Structure 1
């Protein structure tokens, strides 16, 4: 009996450095893989000529598994990373031995949210992202109790992202399908984590996923907002290790 590796997919508009507070403590027991998604951090944005869609980013994840020689992993994601995890599940359910869905949701965008993503993508391409995107995003990403130091760190991560990657991801998320039926068919253990004060994907969104999943575990992270791995890393680490499936 062995524990599968854990592959974690980051939130928008950040990169894999958002996992830094949990990576080391998780790695004491698990093999942990934290890639930058296409267009973020150190990962380039491929030119495909296709309309942005998370299926392409999901193929990146599968190509990484192939490169690392991994048949199956436990796949986790925060926010956009959760959407991408569900896109991978849609393409290759046989590669996933468990799901960790952190501050995310299975439902598609409302028309208003979809338009907001288009507006964000257009502005990122026209102006870059420095300053305005962090100023627009950080208040919703973190709980009111978050420290000024953490807020500054998140701003720095956002300011560092390539505008082209931000725009591509915003358009790709806008196009994502409803994943509730997908989760109903996911015959694997799943951990759903949500920050107590998450205003973007709140407890209702987490409960919707729990109701759909055949084998769910729900954990509410106290005193945290939408970025629980950064806001409450010890609680997130404890929840993952306490739940982790054995293959």
Structure 2
């Protein structure tokens, strides 16, 4: 893929990743969910960019980034590797990472494997820290089949999004449309299959997370429930939980409420990181 107006790109192990950059100062990185893209953060990007240098990439196979290389199966672990490459190439310094869903998994794994790169974590309806019962294993196996995902997504996406704003409805419609294509269904199914792998369970490693962590959960999400929010908070030392009356993409449903929590958190996390480095 060539240049995309308004976006820059970096090379990763899964090909070029395009990203938006706004603002100046200390870095904040915004990571989106499965079959979504960086535009999910449109309602909060300018508010964050008034205070920080904001980097918002599209995962490989998503948005403006290039397609997933032929023959490659991409799961959550591969996206976490892409985040390592992304921070390698750009070297923004310790960043506050805001990760939604699989983006939260990637952010948390970076905090475990490369703690020097992470000033703070904001995990938004994030995977990686919930108990894995038989129903979870069955759901990931079924949704890990492209044909099943393609049939189920028109019903599943509106349920987890619980749309209440025009932006929610746009995100819902576009995510459903992507999942209706063969390429989109294969991409989504590959990620869903990976959610059933033992490597997706970060709880055994969560004590290694030393960055300040804010767990933001939308209580109307049927996939990542309020119980998942409590489990995430319990797994990560010192994490704080804030629950919103929204679906999966909290910052699209309640941008003002999200910014009210995240701006002071990010400022405090960066102050603490600078103090520790002094």
Same fold (TM over 0.5): yes
Superposition pairs of residues 2-81 of structure 1, within 5 angstroms: 4-43=26-65, 44-47=67-70, 49=72, 52-81=74-103
The answer (yes or no) to whether the contact 2:125–2:224 under 8 Å persists in 1 is: yes
Preserved contact between residue 206 and residue 236 of structure 2 (Cα < 8 Å): yes
When the two chains are superposed, the root-mean-square deviation of aligned CA atoms in Å is 2.6
2:163 equivalent to 1:140: no
Residue by residue, what CA displacement relative to the aligned partner does 1:83-114 show, whole Å, maximum 9, x if unpaired? 22223234322221211111124125433323
Structure 1 distance, partners of 2:250, 2:64, is 23
Matched, 1:216 2:236: no
In structure 1, the residue corresponding to 2:36 is in which secondary structure? coil
Measure, in 1, the Cα distance between the counterparts of 2:233 and 2:196. Answer: 23
Q: Is the 8 A contact 2:142 2:149 kept in 1?
A: no
Q: Please point out which of 176, 179, 184 is paired with 2:207.
A: 184
Q: What is the match of residue 117 of structure 1?
A: 140
Structure 2: runs of 5 or more not aligned:
1-23
Could you say which residue in structure 2 is the equivalent of 1:156? Answer: 174
Once the two structures are superposed, the pairs formed by residues 162-181 of structure 1 within 5 Å of their partners are 162-175=184-197, 176-181=199-204
- Please state if 1:228 is matched with 2:231: no
- Residue 139 of structure 1, CA deviation: 1.7
1:38–1:165: 8 Å Cα contact kept in structure 2? no
Match of 1:194 in 2: 217
Output the CA distance in 1 between the equivalents of 2:71 and 2:117.
Answer: 25
Q: Does the residue aligned with 1:242 lie in a helix, a strand or coil?
A: helix
Query: What residue number does 1:91 align with?
Result: 113
Question: Is the CA contact (8 Å cut-off) linking 2:221 and 2:246 kept in structure 1?
Answer: yes
Cα gap change, 1:118 to 1:127, in 2 (>3 Å):
closer
Q: How far 1:196 moved relative to its partner?
A: 3.5
Structure 1 range deviating more: 103-112 or 179-188? 103-112
Provide the aligned length of Structure 1 versus Structure 2.
239
**For residues 25 and 166 of structure 2, what CA distance do their matches in structure 1 show?**
37
CA distance in 1, matches of 2:166, 2:75: 35
Distance of 1:148 and 1:16 partners within structure 2: 17
Question: How many angstroms does 1:60 deviate by?
Answer: 0.8
Shift of 1:82: 1.2
CA–CA distance in structure 1, aligned partners of residues 249 and 167 of structure 2:
14
1:10 and 1:78 in contact (8 A); partners too: yes
Among candidates 254, 265, 269, match of residue 243 of structure 1 = 265
Q: Which residue of 1 aligns with 2:15?
A: none
| TM-score calculated relative to the size of structure 2 | 0.75
The 8 Å contact of residues 135 and 155 in structure 1, kept in 2 or not, is answered as no
Higher RCO (C-alpha under 8 Å, 6+ residues apart): 1
